Chains A and B, each alone.
Chain A
Amino acid sequence: MLFEQYAGKFMTACRRYAKDEMEAEDILQEGFIRIFNNIQQFKFEGSFEGWMRRIVVNVALKSLQKKKIQISEIKENTANTPSLEPYAFNHLGEEDLLKIIHQLPDGYRIVFNLAVIEGYSHEEIAKMLNIQASTSRSQLVKARKMLQQQILEMQKIAV
């Protein structure tokens, strides 16, 4: 069944965008309703999962826009972040990653999700979020830096 097969994966996507579990659940619910209502519009061009995922992501973005999330620059305290070594990821599970992504500021988190995980270009993100492409780029750079810092912190604690 469609729901059973994809609900878990899409729940992960919703959790990446939402502020909390309840909101993620709402997004997933609305996403599946839209999928079922518009399933006849799928033209068998490209992956079906990709098509469904786009719907869920759009619902998530719409939900975030309703909350009037401002994507603004945040002043960085640390100038340089030490480079991560590959072994730094050894102890990191998916839940840990979700947790540190979740700790990102809204703008960073959304741009990071769209660019890195969904694979949208900065121009596409700019259109979707009604921001400049340059803003999207800078948000991604900062999000990445902040995530790496978080991973290093977690690594220190683990050691």
Chain B
Amino acid sequence: MTDKLFDNFIRDSLNNYSSPVPKGLWEKIIDDKDQKPKFFWWKYNAGWILALSFIVIVSSIYVAINYHLNNTIIENKSTHNSSTQPLSTTTKSESEIHNKSNTTAQLPNIAEITDKQVHTLSNTSDTENFSFSKNKRFIAKLEKRAANQSKINTPKNIFNSQQLLNNSTDELPIDDLFSLTSKKYSPENIISFTNNNIYRKNNLHWPPLNLKNILGIGSNDCPSVNGNPKSDIYVEVYISPDYSGKSLYGNGLSAAYLQKKDSTEKMSVGFSAGVRLSKTIGDHFIIKAGFQYAQINERFAERKINQTQTTTVIISRTLVRPQGDTTINDTTSVTQIGYRTIKNMNYYKNVEIPISVGYEFGKPDDKWKFAVNGGAILNIASWFNGYTIDTAMNIISANSKGVNGFYKTAVGLSLFGSVSIIRNISEKMDVFAEPYFRYGLNNTTSSAGFSQKFNTIGIQLGVRMKLRNGRHHL
């Protein structure tokens, strides 16, 4: 008989043979199916979720910055409307300019800047070289232009003239004043130069990229209505149910070991809790830093096969006889060979420093506020308690001290992003919910032959108490 015939015979015999199915299997399947992990969607859609989260966070930050910049422009516009009023009415004669002493000019107009230039010159040894006749036309042109600007009164012109007036760095070098009438420093060019510096693209929607202005900590800021600095300080206390996903990568160990480890360890719900201080910068930005304790829980279950258990059994029998009943005790032992399942909860415990920057939407006194946050979590201490599988596939009881080189005692850095929903409940207190995603950058193992990383999702629920009230509260 050929091998092919033999194979066909076996295949035909067994391919359609139906073995008896154990009773109750269907019920077990239904039960197990219902108990599948709730986060199975994460397993299959992790890439999409991460990409989407990244896009949402980046878009939010972009929108937040734009929103803040536009607000800055609106504030500038209102300032200019009031300050440019005297511009069209202020004219000064040459003699007035010439006789003006070193006192500080009061009016914020073109004449003022001209005065300033003139008196700067008058205090130098080169005063005699200065020719008013040369600058006369320049002053006149500036005044004329300022007047025209105030007549036109477009937002752009108002903004330009004001920037020119306010910009103290625009003082011209003394030497260059002699050539003020030259093309290089013609009023048009000066204004254009100033404007180009102010608007990189001569675009009204893009004011100077001044970090202080963006953050709202510029020196021109007024104090808040109650006289305090313009920032609130909060203390926040929170707790979060977390679910972590584990990534295992082989680093010299066999795929069989990784599969074994993966199959014996299933992630479970953990938690984190912490306290942090937060400080607002400007009306919208907020920085936070604090301490937190985070615990990742993991179920360990492994079946040990060929386990022998011997049970001693005492059998007691009573023999009924005419001369009297006799009780016989007999001792025997039963040896069972089976498997033993070891179940345990493993704990990864961490002490960490979370640092973040956020942008808060809405006004400080709004009942509801939303914020987007991003930052880093620095792990300063980490330890493990529980069971695991060693490279020889044996179950070992491990902890950070006992198994050297297996798990790190300080994991390193994680990145996180979150969205906060804040509800004001009293003058001094808010409650908040903050769903977050945390991405682990570093391995939790050191030289175990495999790399293990955790990514976590959770929702921080907490309260924040205001320690200092400094923002504009209406």
Give A contacts to B, CB under 8 Å: 3, 7-9, 11-12, 15-16, 21, 25, 28-29, 32-33, 36-37, 62, 65-66, 68, 83-86, 88-89, 92, 94, 97-98, 101, 116-117, 119, 130, 144, 147-148
Contact = CB atoms under 8 A, between A and B. Distances in A.
12 contacts: A7-B25, A8-B19, A9-B15, A12-B14, A12-B17, A28-B25, A29-B28, A37-B36, A62-B259, A83-B1, A88-B1, A98-B14
B33 A66 contact: no
Interface in B41-86: none
B20 interface: yes
Interface in B1-18: 1, 3, 5-7, 9-11, 13-18
Nearest to B262: A66
Nearest to A28: B25
A117 B25 contact: no
Interface of B: 1, 3, 5-7, 9-11, 13-22, 25-26, 28-29, 32-33, 36, 40, 255-256, 259-260, 263, 393
Given A117-B14, A130-B255, A144-B3, A12 B26 contact: no
Contacts of A25: 22, 25
Given A9-B16, A11-B21, A117-B14, 15 more contacts: A12-B14, A12-B17, A12-B18, A12-B19, A16-B14, A25-B25, A36-B33, A62-B259, A66-B260, A68-B260, A84-B1, A84-B6, A86-B1, A92-B13, A116-B10
- Say what secondary structure dominates the interface of chain B: helix
Contact of A97 (B10, B28, B259): B10
A116 B25 contact: no
A16 B256 CA distance: 21
Contacts of B259: 62, 65-66
A141 to B, nearest CB: 8
A92 B17 CA distance: 13
A88 B15 CA distance: 20
B21 A7 contact: yes
